[in-house]
Every structure is written in structure tokens, then in C-alpha cells.
């Protein structure tokens, strides 16, 4: 019997992409899922598009926040509502391979893993692949490993809430998901990598994640003020973060 997977999808002004995202979930070969779409105060036609799917597929739910509160609060609202043993994340402009869930859950069950992630490809706003290069990672990550570099794409992650419990995200501008992974690893779990490209991350023009200087500054904020690490440890981990970031770009 397939256990229920909760898919958390925050949405803000995503009318260009949300239909493709929903379809990539409906096309999953693993069928026992619920997709919780949390609208974060959209002012375009996103909500109208989602509502066209609600009556025909009861697995899709829509939660509307009264005003824009940011992705952390939107995701946390979805996590709070989730009924699945497994919790996964898919943003409203990203896509999954049809076999993503079935392969990843099999990987978790066979190996008794509670937290896993996969590789992913990058696509542009038109859905064209930007590179066929595998975005790689070590096969196993501890808390200390993840402090050096964020290898885990949010759209690829699944954790077993039945074993770990529900883990929420801090309300910060960037890296909410990264802090969530660190919290899971602090609970004693490791993260395990399924070396297969099973998701598609859409690179948006002028997105926060594309600003490298801002990313370094925010990484320091997470290390120093969210994780509360001593100054010298922060200095060590920010140096490794920059090093691995350069290595990824040159690989």
C-alpha cells in the first residue's frame, strides 16, 4: 500500500508556471499524494487557475493567506495542514520527473532512510534546459557537512514526518529550507542522496537566489544568528561555503 505524501507548494503570482507544476504532480507514477498549494497573496490569475483543478482532483487543496507573508510562513502553513507520513516540497514554478516520488520513496524504504534528496536540472523561464550537467552531492550528509555547503535542493527533498515529526522553517528572507534541513540533521538523522536527476529547478531572472554576494551575506547570517555558531566556526564554514560554491561553478 502506498503511504500518503504531502506536497507543499507556496505560490505567489505564478500564473505563468503553476499549471505546469500541477501537471508534473498529477503525472507522478506514485498516486497517493496530497498537494497543498498555499497562495501567499497573489494579485495575478494564479488562484483562478488553481481553482480549475480543485473539483476534478480532490488531492489538490488551496489555502489562501490574507496578505503576502513570504515563503517560510506559506510553507509552514502547508506543513501544519499536511496529513502525509512523508513531506515534500515543490515550488510553484518548478517541475518533477514523473518517477520522482516512486523512486525516492522506494530508496527511502529499502534503506530505512528518513531524509533524502536527489539531483535536479536547471531550466530557464521557457522550460529549456540550461545544462545537462548533473548537480552532484556527497552520498550522505551530516549536520557539519551541510554547514559547509547547501547541497539539498528544496524541490528534491522528502522527510519522514512519521519518524522525525513535522519540522518547520524560520521566517527569514532566504535559506528557510536550508535551516529546516539543518534542524532535521540536528535531530540525529543524516540526509541521503539519490544520484538521479528527478526534478527541474526554474531559474528566474533577477531572483534573490541568483545574487551571489547576497547569498554569502545571508549564509553568514544563518551561521552566526540562526545556528548561533561561534565566530571562528562561522569563519571556517563561510570559507568552505565560498570554496564549494566556486568549485560547483567550475565543475
With cut-offs at 50, 70 and 90, classify the pLDDT of residue 245.
confident
168 and 44, same domain (yes or no) = yes
Same-domain status, 216 and 200? no
C-alpha cell at 105: 520513496
Cα separation of 138 and 153, whole Å? Answer: 13
Q: What is the pLDDT of residues 172-192, one digit of tens each?
A: 888 999 999 999 999 888 999
Do residues 222 and 193 share a domain?
Answer: no
Cβ within 8 Å of residue 62, ≥6 positions away: 37, 39, 47, 50, 51, 54
Average pLDDT, the chain: 94
With 60 as the cut, is the pLDDT of residue 210 above it? Answer: no
Q: Is the same domain home to 58 and 132?
A: yes
Same domain, 228 and 143: no
- Based on the fold, state whether residues 163 and 242 are members of the same structural domain: no
pLDDT of the residue at 132: 77
Regarding whether 12 and 135 lie in a shared domain, the answer is yes
CATH of the domain at 117: 3.90.550.10
Burial 52-71 (b: 16+ CB within 10 A, else e): ebeeeeebbbbbebeeebbb
Q: What is the pLDDT of residue 35?
A: 98
pLDDT given at position 187? 87
| Same domain flag for 217 and 115 | no
pLDDT (tens digit, 9 = 90+) per residue, 110-168? 999 999 999 999 999 998 988 877 788 999 999 999 999 999 999 999 999 999 999 99
For residue 204, what pLDDT band results from cuts at 50, 70 and 90?
confident
| Boundaries of domain holding 221 | 211-251
| Shared-domain flag, residues 99 and 219 | no
Tens of pLDDT, residues 70-87: 999 999 999 999 999 999
Domain boundary among 165, 181, 204: 204
Share of the chain above pLDDT 70, in %: 97
Percentage with pLDDT > 90 across the chain:
83
For residue 101, name the pLDDT band (cuts at 50, 70, 90): very high
Same domain, 200 and 215: no
Measure the CA–CA gap between 242 and 239, rounded to whole angstroms: 5
Per-residue pLDDT at 248: 72
One domain for residues 77 and 198: yes
Residue from 55, 36, 49, 53 nearest 166 by CA: 36
Under 8 Å between Cβ of 81 and 61? yes
Kindly report the pTM of this predicted structure: 0.94
247 and 170 belong to one structural domain: no
Q: What is the pLDDT of residue 116?
A: 98
Interval 17-35: pLDDT, tens: 999 999 999 999 999 999 9
**What's the number of domains the chain is made of?**
2
Amino acid at each position: 500500500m502506498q503511504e500518503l505524501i504531502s506536497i507543499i507548494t507556496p505560490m505567489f503570482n505564478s500564473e505563468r508556471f503553476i499549471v505546469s507544476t500541477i501537471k508534473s504532480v498529477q503525472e507522478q507514477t506514485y498516486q497517493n499524494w496530497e498537494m497543498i498549494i498555499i497562495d501567499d497573496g497573489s494579485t495575478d490569475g494564479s488562484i483562478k487557475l488553481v481553482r480549475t483543478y480543485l473539483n476534478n482532483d480532490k488531492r489538490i487543496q488551496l489555502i489562501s493567506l490574507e496578505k503576502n507573508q513570504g515563503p517560510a510562513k506559506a510553507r509552514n502553513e502547508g506543513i501544519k495542514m499536511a496529513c502525509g507520513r512523508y513531506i515534500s516540497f515543490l515550488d510553484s514554478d518548478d517541475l518533477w520527473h514523473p518517477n520522482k516520488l516512486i523512486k525516492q520513496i522506494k530508496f527511502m524504504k529499502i534503506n530505512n532512510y528518513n531524509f533524502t534528496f536527489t539531483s535536479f536540472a536547471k531550466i530557464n523561464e521557457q522550460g529549456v534546459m540550461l545544462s545537462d550537467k548533473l548537480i552532484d552531492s556527497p552520498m550522505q550528509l551530516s549536520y557539519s557537512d551541510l554547514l559547509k555547503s547547501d547541497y539539498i535542493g528544496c524541490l528534491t527533498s522528502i522527510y519522514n514526518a512519521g519518524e522525525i515529526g513535522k519540522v518547520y522553517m524560520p521566517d527569514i528572507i532566504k535559506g528557510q529550507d536550508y535551516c529546516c534541513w539543518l534542524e532535521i540533521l540536528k535531530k540525529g538523522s543524516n540526509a541521503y542522496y539519490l544520484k538521479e536527476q528527478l526534478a527541474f529547478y526554474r531559474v528566474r531572472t533577477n531572483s534573490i537566489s541568483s545574487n551571489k554576494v547576497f547569498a554569502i551575506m545571508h549564509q553568514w547570517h544563518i551561521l552566526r544568528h540562526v545556528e548561533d555558531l561561534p565566530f571562528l566556526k562561522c569563519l571556517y564554514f563561510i570559507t568552505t561555503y565560498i570554496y564549494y560554491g566556486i568549485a560547483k561553478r567550475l565543475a
